[in-house]
Amino acid sequence: MPSDFERKTTHFGYREVPKNEKAALVAEVFRSVAPKYDLMNDLMSLGMHRLWKRFAIEQAALRPGDQVLDVASGTGDLAKALARVVGSKGRVVMTDINEAMLQVGRERLEDAGVMGNIDFIQADAENLPFVDHYFDCVTIAFGLRNVTDKVTAMKSMHRVLKPGGKLLILEFSHPQTPLLNKLYDLYSFNIIPRLGALVTNDRDSYQYLVESIRMHPNQDALKAMMHEAGFEDVEYYNLCDGIVAVHKGYKY
């Protein structure tokens, strides 16, 4: 059986597509949903995504003056909170591969008055355009599952971290209780695409998002991938019985 590196295709939701086409397909999804992305997050998670992000930020244990890279920043929820923690002497670099999402994020942060210590850079998670050993912390929230080669992306994140720096991954994962897993499937496949159709007039993008969650590695598989990328002392925390998980690992 060929390794992930040797395979010429990857998954886009439940579809198998050429590796070199996935980024463009994902970009089109987020270009379509960007204007109402935050509203849909609130509706889909019943507002819980805000608590999940708060927990991730607590696990980052940032200090004033820290340099933070937020990968796949989307509309900037996490970056905004991170900027407040590191303060005026710190810096948050907000990146996303998708120009439309990054623009929405910039506008939201401008409206919130949180701009003094944030930079905006369009960047690919698999090839981050930053010098080695620079950031105290790298975060990625609900973005890793859309990356074509996750280990390559995490190696890129490892490279730009200082020794002693940490990576925080907040991502949908796999519920641990069989009954909840069944209920979660019923909700995800029957409700979320319909919400997408009603709110964004785009059912297909939210069908992809649901499928992408199911195709994402489970908690232990992602932990092993972080080790493969060079991270040590890797641990994870299940939230809502594993519907979401926070993974944390260090560069030494």
Say what the pTM is: 0.91
**Is 77 annotated for ligand binding?**
no
Q: Is 38 annotated as a binding residue?
A: no
How far apart, in whole angstroms, are the C-alpha atoms of residue 139 and residue 247?
Answer: 10
Please tell me the total count of domains within the chain. Answer: 1
Q: What is the pLDDT of residues 35-57, one digit of tens each?
A: 888 888 888 888 899 999 999 99
Taking alpha carbons only, the member of 86, 73, 88, 160 closest to residue 121 is: 73
Question: Do the domain assignments include residue 4?
Answer: no
66 is in an annotated binding site: no
* Amino acid identity, position 150: K
Domain span including residue 78: 9-250
Taking only the tens place, the pLDDT of each residue in 75-99 is 899 999 999 999 999 999 999 998 8
- In the sheet where 135-141 sits, what is the strand order? 118-122, 91-96, 67-71, 135-141, 161-172, 244-250, 232-239
Least confident of 1-5, 57-61, 149-153: 1-5
Assess if residue 79 is contained within a domain: yes
At 86, which CATH number? 3.40.50.150
Asked, for residue 3, whether it belongs to a domain, the answer is no
Lowest-pLDDT choice from 45-49, 112-116, 135-139 = 112-116
Tell me whether residue 123 is annotated as binding. Answer: no
If residue 80 lies in a helix (H) or strand (E), which one and from where to where?
Answer: helix 77-86
